[in-house]
Copies of this chain bind each other. A is one copy, B any other.
């Protein structure tokens, strides 16, 4: 068993299949070929390799779906892709379609630890009162023609405003992270952290409870357990001890 190192190409196939099966219930070779920009015969070859590694359920002329393990790996690739794309768009202001294609190449170069670091960084930029949206706008401005003095005047003004607003409101961060088990029925949360592991982690991921997904807490049973949540349109019922390991950002209604 062990390391399961996939080639860039196979990671991309997995990614493409993932994006198909979250919409349809099974992937067609033709659609995979079209999204991968390859001929159908290349898809057959890739599917054989993925099936050999137990990442897709496949046999000739049969339905193509992801196995449990395949779903897990695919989601990991997709997460790397999305985080990098987010960084390129939100922080560097690269345009969406270029960000997407560059992210899809970079995703194969980075470890999960580096992606976590990117995630934290984006989050930090969004939430730190010294940074935030206005700071990123400042960066755009800074990238312009003769920006320095002008930018800096704005920057310092903004700094003071932020400072005063923050002190007044008592809000130290721009948004607050909560654990899912602290959330009251009716609230929505954007998932940022998932510390579950093993089988439970997999199960939840498959149910759509992934980083970045938005979850609404629906009902809490009389004894606080189980808790019913809605994610991607599905109702799920989870034990409180598991919710404890999932964090997110509380969204305004």
Chain A residues engaging chain B, CB cutoff 8 angstroms: 88, 91-94, 98, 102, 105-106, 108-111, 114, 117-118, 120-121, 124, 128-131, 135, 138-139, 142-143, 148-149, 152-153, 155-156, 158-160, 162-163, 166-167, 172-173, 176-177
Contacts and interface: CB of A to CB of B under 8 A. Distances in A.
Contacts of A139: 120-121, 124, 128
A143 B102 CA distance: 26
Given A94-B117, A106-B110, 15 more contacts: A92-B117, A98-B114, A105-B109, A106-B106, A117-B143, A120-B143, A124-B139, A128-B138, A128-B139, A128-B155, A129-B152, A130-B131, A130-B138, A130-B159, A160-B163
A124 to B, nearest CB: 5
6 nearest A-B residue pairs (beta carbon): A152-B172, A105-B109, A92-B117, A106-B109, A130-B130, A124-B139
Copies in the assembly, this chain: 2
Contacts of A149: 172
Contact of A130 (B111, B117, B135, B167): B135
A135 B176 CA distance: 19
Contact of A173 (B117, B148, B167, B172): B148
